[in-house]
Amino acid sequence: MKLRAYLVDDEPLALERLRRLLVQTGKVEVAGSTTVPEEAVAALTADPPDVCFLDIQMPRLNGFDVLAKLPCQPIVIFTTAFDQYALKAFGVNSVDYLLKPIETEALERALKKVEGLRQLKGEAQPEFQTLLKQVTESLRQTRPEYLERIASRLGDRIWFLDLDRVTHFYAEDKLTYAVAEGKAYCVDHSISDLETNLDPKKFFRIHRSTMVNVGSIKELTSLPGGTLNVRLNDAKGTDLTVARDRVREFKSLVGC
């Protein structure tokens, strides 16, 4: 009998890749998925799966916040592109982890562990709850504050743009522009400043003069010379290029 899995990741490309890998194993039925943490809480509460593949770093609610809101803890496989949380500590009883980009062999090992954990899940609850509380508090204390809006000055007027609307930033003629809904707004930040002050899970510097909103990416195409073309989901279908020296990190971020 196949395992019923629910997938949670704020990166659509990573979510689709994981779904594809799970289906290819022939051992898993993907019961549902979402890029919205709040939707995950509702879905996991209403119909708990056999296993939940859960991203750690997400906006508004991280993976630990999602679990803390559930009345019944599912078996969890954490997925993340970052190894800074001493993830081996989560490899106890009802928890395992996979580093992005997820490899087929690592996924197969995790699925085998899930089968054994299904029987131990009830016994592991107290230990898991204690670990969950400790890690969640640690994340809240160390979580950096990133910009949520950015200002654009036009004469005596200042416009504030929600970053969710911004598809990308680019530098040109010593000025930096934020592009939202096809319109460019001049902002008082360099690309380097933006790289420091924007959430790296949402915005990635694909070139020395360009940052892209990962959530605005529609498709990727390999180019000669080891670079990538990024096509955005805006009305123009804007094309941007990922520099060769940034391709590997970029692929790790988006899970491909």
Asked whether the whole model's pTM tops 0.85, one would answer: no
Q: What pLDDT, on a 0 to 100 scale, did the predictor assign at position 86?
A: 42
Residue 144: is its pLDDT beyond 70?
no
- What element of type H or E holds 131? helix 104-142
CB atoms within 10 A of CB 117: 21
Q: What pLDDT, on a 0 to 100 scale, did the predictor assign at position 91?
A: 44
- CATH number for the 149-254 domain, one of 2.40.50.1020, 3.40.50.10490, 1.10.645.10, 3.90.45.10? 2.40.50.1020
Residue 217: is its pLDDT beyond 90?
yes
Give percent above pLDDT 90 in the chain.
46
SS3 of residue 179 by DSSP: strand
Average pLDDT over the chain, rounded to whole? 83
Q: Is residue 100 very low, low, confident or very high in pLDDT (cuts 50, 70, 90)?
A: confident
The angle formed by the CA atoms of residues 112, 16 and 247, to the nearest 5 degrees, is 105
CA-to-CA separations, 175 to 185, 188, 200, 210, in angstroms, rounded: 10, 8, 22, 12
How large is the average pLDDT for residues 65-70? Answer: 84
How do residues 224-237 score in pLDDT, each as one tens digit?
889 999 999 999 99
List, by residue range, all CATH 3.40.50.2300 domains of the chain.
3-142
Q: How would you classify the pairing of strands 166-172 and 3-8?
A: unpaired
Structure-model confidence comparison of residues 65 and 45, the more confident one: 45
* Superfamily of structural domain 3-142: Response regulator (3.40.50.2300)
List, by residue range, all CATH 2.40.50.1020 domains of the chain.
149-254
Q: What pLDDT, on a 0 to 100 scale, did the predictor assign at position 137?
A: 56
Residue 141: is its pLDDT beyond 60?
no
Q: What pLDDT, on a 0 to 100 scale, did the predictor assign at position 123?
A: 53
How large is the average pLDDT for residues 149-178? Answer: 91
| Pick from 94-108, 201-215, 220-234: least confident | 94-108
Q: What pLDDT, on a 0 to 100 scale, did the predictor assign at position 85?
A: 46
Q: How many CA atoms lie within 13 A of 198 on its CB side?
A: 26
For 228, the token pair is 């990538």
